């Protein structure tokens, strides 16, 4: 298999207390339990966003579109002449693309609130904030022809819809996996327990993702390891549940060699043997394997956390027609295949798998495996209104998670 070597990987998710509190106070986007979950939380939990109309029909393009995007999502050949889906879009539509690359979800939210941008590739920890603040509008999927070929497992989910109304177009998805060096970890693990074992034989050589969102990984493990805690959704933790996750992560810290957010450092650490087991992405595994390091990966029996990004349109977009044309283009089979391979994630369009240069790419990234992705709990923003539908308790929000992560790392 040809190993993809993308220039970019997913940025670290660090959400500040002020934004987490101010932008989504009192709102809840439904259950975020699994990739196969419903768009509304059982027993309630949905919120009422500002009343904003979706575009009813497409008109002629306005000549340009201003995007806020993750690095690697709007490539124009400047990083690699062979990697360019922007110029073909401009030629086909007459819409010049102006891209502002954002490094964090906070930056994306702030940029969109300036009113200067038409569309954004929002992650699950930003999408609800953008909806709740009225910054983005519902999306009329009838105006996005390629939407019909998007995997059903990505449509109308808690991070891209509210009450059955779509607020964006799915871009792609990926899972946070467990990886180990087979020359050191002799017995193949099938559980996240291997990274949380207080008596780990791999002390100093365990790794974990460096972000407050990693608290959800601990919560996910505790869902089955300590069912008496009653955790139903790793992003909906009351005070007691959060404390249990924090205690587990403090215990784990004694065995951590290094936390990572830069995927290139994770690659090097596994290659050198400084790390022998821990959280990874499929693209990291591909690169480590390409350099002949003995590693394997698995989606543990507890499931995993993961991400699914969404292209959203500004409520006051100055160039809405070009924005819609971009949404349709970026999920068209060829462009979606290009961005998936460059970035290192599963595409959202089922027909993209026919267009990848590596014909085994979609198998490697489990693009068509809905059973696989049904075990993935996609990143979303923890808020005070419990995302699991509970109304008799207040859940902890991301500002509390951020403080807890600082405490965990010391």
**Domain locations in the chain?**
6-173+307-378, 176-305+383-409
Q: Give dist(CA 384, CA 398) in Å, integer.
A: 9
Which are the contacts of 400, defined by CB distance < 8 A and separation ≥ 6? 242, 382
Q: Same CATH topology for 6-173+307-378 and 176-305+383-409?
A: yes
Which pLDDT score, from 0 to 100, does residue 79 have?
87
Which pLDDT score, from 0 to 100, does residue 46 have?
53
Q: Is 3.40.190.10 the CATH classification of the domain at 176-305+383-409? A: yes
Q: Determine which helix (DSSP H) or strand (DSSP E) holds 290, and give its type and residue range.
A: helix 282-290
Written as tens digits, the pLDDT of the chain (410 aa) is 233 334 344 444 433 333 333 334 333 333 333 333 333 332 334 568 999 999 999 999 999 999 999 989 999 999 889 999 999 999 999 999 999 999 878 899 999 999 999 999 998 888 988 998 999 999 999 999 999 999 999 999 988 999 899 999 999 999 999 999 999 999 999 999 999 999 999 999 999 999 898 999 999 999 999 999 999 999 999 999 999 999 999 999 999 999 998 888 999 999 999 999 999 988 899 889 989 999 999 999 999 999 899 999 999 999 999 999 999 999 999 999 999 999 889 999 999 999 999 999 999 999 999 999 999 999 887 888 899 999 999 999 988 999 999 999 99
How large is the C-alpha radius of gyration of the chain? 20
Name the residue among 249, 15, 138 with its Cα closest to residue 241: 249
Which pLDDT score, from 0 to 100, does residue 26 have?
38
Strand 119-122 and strand 346-347: the pairing is unpaired
Which pLDDT score, from 0 to 100, does residue 25 have?
38
Helix 86-93 × helix 320-330 angle, to 10°: 130
DSSP state of 349: B
Which pLDDT score, from 0 to 100, does residue 38 have?
30
Q: Give dist(CA 88, CA 338) in Å, integer.
A: 12
Q: Give dist(CA 84, CA 333) in Å, integer.
A: 14
Which pLDDT score, from 0 to 100, does residue 137 have?
98
Q: Give dist(CA 381, CA 283) in Å, integer.
A: 24
Which pLDDT score, from 0 to 100, does residue 2 have?
31
Q: Give dist(CA 18, CA 10) in Å, integer.
A: 23
SS3 12: coil
Instruction: Record the pTM.
Output: 0.82
Which are the contacts of 268, defined by CB distance < 8 A and separation ≥ 6? none
Which pLDDT score, from 0 to 100, does residue 124 have?
86
SS3 312: strand
Strand 256-260 and strand 206-209: the pairing is parallel
Q: What is the CATH number of domain 6-173+307-378?
A: 3.40.190.10
Q: Give dist(CA 134, CA 47) in Å, integer.
A: 13
């Amino acid at each position: 298999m040809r190993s993809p070597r993308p220039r970019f990987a997913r940025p670290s998710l660090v959400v500040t207390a002020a934004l987490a509190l101010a932008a989504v106070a009192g709102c809840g986007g439904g259950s975020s339990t699994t990739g196969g979950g419903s768009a509304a939380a059982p027993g309630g939990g949905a919120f009422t966003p500002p009343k904003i109309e979706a575009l009813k029909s497409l008109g002629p393009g306005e000549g340009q579109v201003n995007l806020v995007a993750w690095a690697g999502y709007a490539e124009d050949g400047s990083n690699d002449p062979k990697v360019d889906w922007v110029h073909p879009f401009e030629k086909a539509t007459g819409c010049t693309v102006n891209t502002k690359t954002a490094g964090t979800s906070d930056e994306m939210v702030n940029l969109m609130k300036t009113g200067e941008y038409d569309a954004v590739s929002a992650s699950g920890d930003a999408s609800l904030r953008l909806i709740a603040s009225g910054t983005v509008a519902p999306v009329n999927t009838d105006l996005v022809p390629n939407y019909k070929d998007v995997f059903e497992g990505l449509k109308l989910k808690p991070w891209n819809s509210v009450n059955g109304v779509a607020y964006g177009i799915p871009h792609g998805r990926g899972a946070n996996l467990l990886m180990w060096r087979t020359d050191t970890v002799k017995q193949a693990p099938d559980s996240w327990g291997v990274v949380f074992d207080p008596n780990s034989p791999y002390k100093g050589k365990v790794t974990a993702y460096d972000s407050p969102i990693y608290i959800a990984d601990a919560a996910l493990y505790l869902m089955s390891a300590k069912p008496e805690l009653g955790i139903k959704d790793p992003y909906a933790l009351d005070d007691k549940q959060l404390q249990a996750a924090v205690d587990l992560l403090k215990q784990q810290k004694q065995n951590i060699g290094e936390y990572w957010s830069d995927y290139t450092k994770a690659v090097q650490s596994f290659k050198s043997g400084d790390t022998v087991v821990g959280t990874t992405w499929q693209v990291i595994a591909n690169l480590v394997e390409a350099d002949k390091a003995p590693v394997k990966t698995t989606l543990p029996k507890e499931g995993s956390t993961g991400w699914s990004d969404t292209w959203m349109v500004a409520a006051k977009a100055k160039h809405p027609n070009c924005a819609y044309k971009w949404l349709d283009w970026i999920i068209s089979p060829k462009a979606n295949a290009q961005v998936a391979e460059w970035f290192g994630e599963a595409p959202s369009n089922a027909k993209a798998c026919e267009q990848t240069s590596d014909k085994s790419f979609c198998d490697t990234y489990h693009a068509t495996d809905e059973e696989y992705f049904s075990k993935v709990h996609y990143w979303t923003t923890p808020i005070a209104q419990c995302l699991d539908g509970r109304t008799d308790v207040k859940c902890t929000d991301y500002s509390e998670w951020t403080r807890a992560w600082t405490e965990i790392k010391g």
